[in-house]
Amino acid sequence: MLLFDVDGTLVTTGGAGRRALERIFEVVYGRNDACSFPLDGMTDRAIVRAALRNIGRDAGEPEIDAILVRYLEILAEEVAGVDSDKYRIHRGIEPALEAAAAFSHVALGLGTGNIREGARVKLTRVGIYERFAFGGFGCDHEDRTELLRVGARRGAERLGMLPENCRVVIVGDTPKDVAAATNLGAESLGVATGRFSTSDLKAAGATFAFADLSEPGALDALLN
C-alpha cells in the first residue's frame, strides 16, 4: 500500500495552511508570533500544541480541539484565495496516482499530519482528494508514526490482508516522514519537492529519494 503525505509532497498550497494557523492565533489570542517555528513534518495537533505553549497558553486537549475547529473555517478561505500559479500539484504525482490505481493489489491512501477535513480542503482544490480511499490523519493521532500505523491498518483492511503481510511505502518530503516510516518498519520514498534535498532525505534513511515522481526510476521504486 502507498501512503502519501500532503503538504510539500502531493501539493504546494502557497502557504495557505500556515497563514490560516497564524490568523486563528491572532484572532483568538491577539498574537501573530505563535507559529514562529518550522512546521515541516509536524502534525496539526502538534503544531497547535507547540504554538499554544509558545505564547504561554494552556495546551490541553479542549483548547487544541477548539483551535482546530476554527482553523478549518479560515483554511477554506485561505485555500480559495491562493493564486493558481502558487497552488499546484507536484510533477509526477498525477501519473503516479493513475498508475497505482490500475493495480487491484495496491491500496492508495494518505498518511498526513493534516486533520482529515484539512486534507480534504487542500486536495479538493486540485481535484485529487477522491483518489485516496483511506488514510491516517492528524486527527487519528498526534504522533506521525502512530497515524501512519492507523493508515496502514485501514489499507490492509481494504486489501483483505494483515498489515504485517503488506508492503507499505510512505511517500513524503521531510526527514520526519522518513523517520516515521522507519519507526513503522515501512519503506520510505522521499521526494525533494519541499524544503529538503534528496541528500537530506537519504541521510535521514529514506529507502529511495528522488527530485520528484517524474524522475526516471521513481515510479518503478514506488510500485515495484
User: Is there a single domain that holds both residue 28 and residue 126?
Assistant: no
- Positions of E strands within the chain: 2-4, 11-12, 88-89, 108-111, 134-136, 169-172, 187-191, 208-210
User: Is there a single domain that holds both residue 64 and residue 104?
Assistant: no
Instruction: Name the domain boundary from 32, 53, 81.
Output: 81
Query: Which of 1, 47, 58 has the alpha carbon at shortest distance from 24?
Result: 47
- For the chain, the domain total comes to 2
pLDDT band of 224, cuts 50, 70, 90: confident
The residue range of the domain holding 25 is: 16-81
Output the domain CATH number for residue 194.
Answer: 3.40.50.1000
Asked if the model's pLDDT at residue 213 lies above 90, the reply is yes
Asked if the model's pLDDT at residue 23 lies above 90, the reply is yes
User: Is there a single domain that holds both residue 21 and residue 104?
Assistant: no
86-113 pLDDT, tens digit per residue, is 999 999 999 999 999 999 999 999 999 9
**How many CB atoms sit inside 10 A of residue 36's CB?**
11
User: Is there a single domain that holds both residue 70 and residue 91?
Assistant: no
User: Is there a single domain that holds both residue 77 and residue 184?
Assistant: no
Contact 41, 143 (CB under 8 A): no
User: Is there a single domain that holds both residue 22 and residue 133?
Assistant: no
Tell me what pLDDT residue 139 has: 95
What is the average pLDDT value for the chain, to the nearest integer?
A: 96
Tell me what pLDDT residue 179 has: 98
What pTM did the predictor assign? 0.95
User: Is there a single domain that holds both residue 137 and residue 183?
Assistant: yes
User: Is there a single domain that holds both residue 77 and residue 93?
Assistant: no
Distant-in-sequence, close-in-space partners of 180: CB < 8 Å, separation ≥ 6: 144, 145, 148, 170, 172
Percent of the chain at pLDDT exceeding 90: 98
